[in-house]
Amino acid sequence: MSEKVKTTVGIDVLNTGYGDFELRFDENKPDEVQKAKETITDMLKRGYAIFVHQGNETLRVRKFDPDKNVYIIGSTPAEEVPVTKAKATAVGRSAGG
Identify whether the C-beta of residue 82 lies closer than 8 Å to the C-beta of residue 70.
Answer: yes
Return the minimum-mean-pLDDT range out of 1-5, 39-43, 81-85: 1-5
Alpha-carbon distance of 59 to 72, in angstroms, equals 10
The per-residue pLDDT for range 38-71, each reduced to its tens digit, is 999 999 999 999 999 988 899 999 999 999 999 9
What percent of the chain has a predicted confidence (pLDDT) above 70? 85
